[in-house]
Amino acid sequence: MIWGCSPVKQASKTSAKLEHAAQDSTEYEIRIIDPQFDQWYIINYSPAKDYSKEYYRSKNFVGVTNWNNYYTSGRYNRIIISLLDYRPDVDYGIDVDRKLYWYFRYIESECGIPLLNNFSVN
């Protein structure tokens, strides 16, 4: 699960979850439960800003690594309250990878938490 924040930079109960779309399928979906994210996504995403699947996967790996490091270190513990299970060996599909990437961008923009840069959190 991912926990997000509201635009006023206070923790709120929002989440994103990667799960199988069907029990016997290899398709995945992502559910982001945050009313502000949908509006933010509509305003900020456009097909002109789209990237390749490989780009999303590499950025998401960085975002997940930083997210989980923040969780482990206790930084941003009002916002990041659980680990995110995102495995680089799993093909989640472009739609899931795209939405997760834009959720990380949302958290960066609205909460000020750097996630998508290559750095190590200690």
Q: For residue 117, tell me if it sits in a domain.
A: no
Mean pLDDT of 64-81: 93
Domain that holds residue 95: 15-111
Instruction: Write down the pLDDT at residue 2.
Output: 47
Alpha-carbon dihedral 65, 25, 102, 49, rounded to 10 degrees: 120
pLDDT of residue 108 exceeding 80? yes
Q: For residue 96, tell me if it sits in a domain.
A: yes
Mean pLDDT of 5-22: 48
Number of domains forming the structure of the chain? 1
CA distance 59 to 52: 11
Q: For residue 8, tell me if it sits in a domain.
A: no
Are 11 and 113 in contact by the 8 Å Cβ rule? The answer is: no
Q: What pLDDT digit, counting tens, does each position of 93-107 carry?
A: 999 999 999 999 999
Q: What pLDDT digit, counting tens, does each position of 21-66 carry?
A: 545 457 898 888 788 999 999 999 999 999 999 999 999 999 999 9
Considering the entire predicted model, what is its pTM? 0.78
Q: For residue 116, tell me if it sits in a domain.
A: no
Q: For residue 94, tell me if it sits in a domain.
A: yes
Mean pLDDT of 2-14: 42
CA distance 81 to 75: 10
In which residue are the tokens 């009313």 written? 35
Q: For residue 57, tell me if it sits in a domain.
A: yes
pLDDT of residue 18 exceeding 70? no
Q: For residue 79, tell me if it sits in a domain.
A: yes
